[in-house]
Structure 1
Amino acid sequence: MKFIGMTLAAALFAGVAAAETVLPDDVVYDDYGAVEASLTGQPGNPENGAKIAVNRGLGNCVACHAVSALDNAPFHGEVGPPLDGVGGYRSEAELRGIIANAKHTFEGTVMPAFYKTSGFIRPGDGYTGKAASETISPILAAQDVEDVVAFLMTLQD
């Protein structure tokens, strides 16, 4: 009986945690593109955020931005602004909004929307030239966005 109660409690807790995750199409941006509410209700992990920032299959922030704190990653980009000190002049809400969909803050930016699944013009099936036949997943999961925000907040002057 105790095992069943613990299992039920774990399942309820998991359901509550999952229910708190904001889906990409439900993200609320303010007039300047900031997203005040956490996407998961959980704090971000800055160490994981740093890993995402250099992971070529996930965030890959260093492909476009120079980040001195990530000097172990080769070939920092120069397309976007350097991120050194960004946690000192941007709020968590601003960073969350920029990562989720920078076009709400910077119209015309080439920065990809990392937490978006609809409203695209050209994504398709691989290199076939055909429209996507399945639901498109966001580049980053909601908690990944929170982790990158937590990492960027550590970048103070």
Structure 2
Amino acid sequence: MKSAVGLVALATVFALPALASEVAPSDVVFNDGFVKASLTGKAGDAISGREVFANRKLGNCLACHSNSEMPEQSFHGEVAPLLDGVADRWEEAQLRGIVANAKMTFEDTMMPAFYIDSGYERPLEGFEGKSILTAQQVEDVVAYLMTLKEE
């Protein structure tokens, strides 16, 4: 009996990573712009998300958005909504959908889809078939955005 219980416990431990596997860009499920399930099966890291948000070679969010939580960053954009208090305006699932592919929420938006790997033209070789951000980076940016509440 003990060995059977041990085998079930062992099988469960090895099955857990499979349950928490990353969702491929083409498999992301949008419901009215919401993406309810984590793309990675684990919570994002707000500190890493802040770094991705500010990184001009990754998210480059500041090219369009202003964010007073980042006064050390110069040249905040003014063409997209101010992100101060964004966590008070949107739920986590909505923000995940917007970051992954904002066109699923706002049809005519100019915001790029950060988690798609087809249906667009990439001007640089070596980037075709790849998303701008990884699933974990999307989760990290969403975790960071969830910290931006009105004071």
RMSD: 2.2
* Identity %, equivalent residues: 53
Q: Who is 1:48 aligned against?
A: 48
Q: Who is 2:144 aligned against?
A: 151
What is the Cα deviation at residue 89 of structure 1? 1.4
Segments of structure 2 that go 5 or more residues without pairing to the other structure are 1-9
Q: Who is 2:108 aligned against?
A: 108
Q: Who is 1:25 aligned against?
A: 26
- Cα distance change, pair 85–113 in 1 and its aligned pair in 2 (3 A): same
Q: Who is 2:39 aligned against?
A: 39
**Distance in structure 2 (CA, Å) of the matches to 1:61 and 1:21:** 23
What is the Cα deviation at residue 125 of structure 1? 4.7
What is the Cα deviation at residue 134 of structure 1? 7.3
Runs of 4+ aligned structure 1 residues displaced above 3 Å come to: 132-135
- Cα distance change, pair 136–72 in 1 and its aligned pair in 2 (3 A): same
Q: Report Cα offsets for 1:16-46 as digits up to 9, x if no partner.
A: 2686210000000002x11000000111110
Which residue identity lines up with residue 41 of structure 2 in the other structure? G
The two structures have a TM-score, normalised by structure 1, of 0.81
Three-state SS of the structure 2 residue aligned to 1:146 is helix
Contact 2:122 2:128 survives alignment (8 Å) = no
Segments of structure 1 that go 5 or more residues without pairing to the other structure are 1-8, 127-131
What is the total number of aligned residue pairs between the two structures? Answer: 139
Within 5 Å, which residues of 2 pair with 1:2-151?
Answer: 16=17, 20-31=21-32, 33-120=33-120, 123-126=121-124, 135-151=128-144
**Distance in structure 2 (CA, Å) of the matches to 1:17 and 1:75:** 42
**Distance in structure 1 (CA, Å) of the matches to 2:144 and 2:18:** 22
The two structures have a TM-score, normalised by structure 2, of 0.84
Q: Report Cα offsets for 1:77-105 as digits up to 9, x if no partner.
A: 01100000001110010000000000000
